[in-house]
Amino acid sequence: MKRTTVALALVASASFSAGALAQAKVQYVPHNYYWVGPYAASGSGIAGGAIDYLEMLNARDGGINGVKFVGDKCETEYNNARGVECYERSKKNGPTGATLIHPLSTGITYSLIEKGTADRIPIVSVGYGRTDASDGRVFPYVFPLITNYWSQNTAKIKFMGQQAGGMDKLKGKKIVNLYHDSAYGKETIPVLDAQAKMYGFQVTHLAVPHPGNEQQAQWLQIRQIQPDWVILRGWGVMNPTAIKAAQRAGYPREKIIGVWWAGAEEDTIPAGDAAKGYIAAAFNVSGTNYPVIQDIMKHVYGKGKGEMDDKSRIGSAYYNRGVVFSIITSEAVRKAQTRFGKGQPMTGEQVRWGLENLVIDDAYLKKLGAAGFMQPLKVSCLDHEGGGAVKFQQWDGKQWKVITDWIPSDQKLVRPMIEASAAQYAKEKGITPRDCSKEK
């Protein structure tokens, strides 16, 4: 009883401070990430990059046309219920409510889709989330930006084709899809099967039970199959365990191609020397040699602020990914301001428009200081993905070295599947898809 009273008092006080915020001209961005648990390394890295970039904009530019970014951090523990609770707690804060949400978890994204749509707050899932939300006609408030799981998969097959000397050379080859036994892991099975039929390769799907710290049986089976490539669709401890198990089974790591949630320092360093030669996909690069990172070092860490206690993590794959998240956030706000009022805080609905009309080309990237850092983006009402290209990088024992240029995905294969799946969702829910030609 007493606990509840104190809790009520504190919530009241928190809402008082939110009330004070409501007067100022600020853009409220909730930071609902995870800093504990098995994925804490990834979550804290991305959170750090995301928060630092917005801080840098505040310090260097005074925000977006004078509107500074503020935000609260909330621990979701990578748990759906906590993610929903953090969302509910933060969605009304600030003068215009929450700008948008980066759930950083496919499960939480799914849980928030309906709520975000009802509350008119965009749910942005960069490189994860619900793939068929790329069809913006059915999912107006959900943005699986840059690349979704299916596009990435087709790019991977294209990369293998490149390595084999041509897409026709893929016929008769054997590929093993080693996936994490979860919603995230299973997503690419249909698109792989479709490509297997198209190009004539054999694909075997092997499941690794969560959390993935025992893979001996799977790698013994891989040793039997002797595939030409192994796609590692893992997350968390499954990745270094897979690399080590590959070493144990004598499978060359150069033939293992990981997804972009299996391609960070956190995945290779624990595997030690075994990880040399391992290849992974990426939609952002690691490194500190970019003007945008240099600006963060100067304006944020130089002033004694900054999220990362361990400065060596600045420039890591996950940190830079967080920076990409915030580049999207801030540029969407900027775009929204061009239509709805320069120098004014934007509502979630207005930022939705900003996201849907976001165009970041090479020149724009150069202006941001992020040339080569992330790929150019062109979002539209029909296409909530906006990019679709993937780079591949290889671990040399100390860092990731990019080994290809941007490889575009096979939208001819992926788009019809996305539209079919989205149409089915629309039918189940009784949603009439928007008519993009009618909207401005």
Q: Which of residues 2-41 bind another protein (CB under 8 A)?
A: 3-4, 6-7, 10-11, 13-14, 17, 34-38, 40-41
- Residue 220 binds another protein, judged by CB under 8 A: yes
User: According to CB under 8 A, which one of 412, 429, 438, 440 is a site residue for another protein?
Assistant: 429
Q: Which of residues 297-326 bind another protein (CB under 8 A)?
A: 305, 307, 309-310, 313
CB of 70 to another protein, least distance (A): 11
CB of 315 to another protein, least distance (A): 14
10 or 24: whose CB is closer to another protein?
10
CB of 386 to another protein, least distance (A): 21
Of 140-148, 254-262, 272-280, 330-338, the segment contacting another protein by CB under 8 A is 272-280
> Rounded to 5 degrees, what angle do the CA atoms 361, 364, 369 make?
125
- Residue 81 binds another protein, judged by CB under 8 A: yes
Q: Which of residues 155-194 bind another protein (CB under 8 A)?
A: 181-184, 186-187, 189-190
Residue 19 phi, psi dihedral angles, 5° rounding: -65, -40
Beta strands 68-70; 142-143: pairing state: unpaired
Q: Which of residues 221-260 bind another protein (CB under 8 A)?
A: 221, 223-224, 236-237, 240-241, 244, 247-250
User: According to CB under 8 A, which one of 169, 174, 210, 276 is a site residue for another protein?
Assistant: 210
Asked if the peptide bond before residue 211 counts as cis, ω within 30 degrees of 0, the response is yes
User: According to CB under 8 A, which one of 272, 302, 341, 416 is a site residue for another protein?
Assistant: 272
355 or 418: whose CB is closer to another protein?
418
78 or 199: whose CB is closer to another protein?
78
Q: Which of residues 87-116 bind another protein (CB under 8 A)?
A: 88-89, 92, 106-107, 110-111, 113-115
Report the alpha-carbon distance of residue 139 to residue 378 in Å, rounded.
Answer: 17
132 or 331: whose CB is closer to another protein?
132
Contacts of 246 (CB under 8 A, 6+ apart): 219, 222, 230, 252, 253, 256, 274
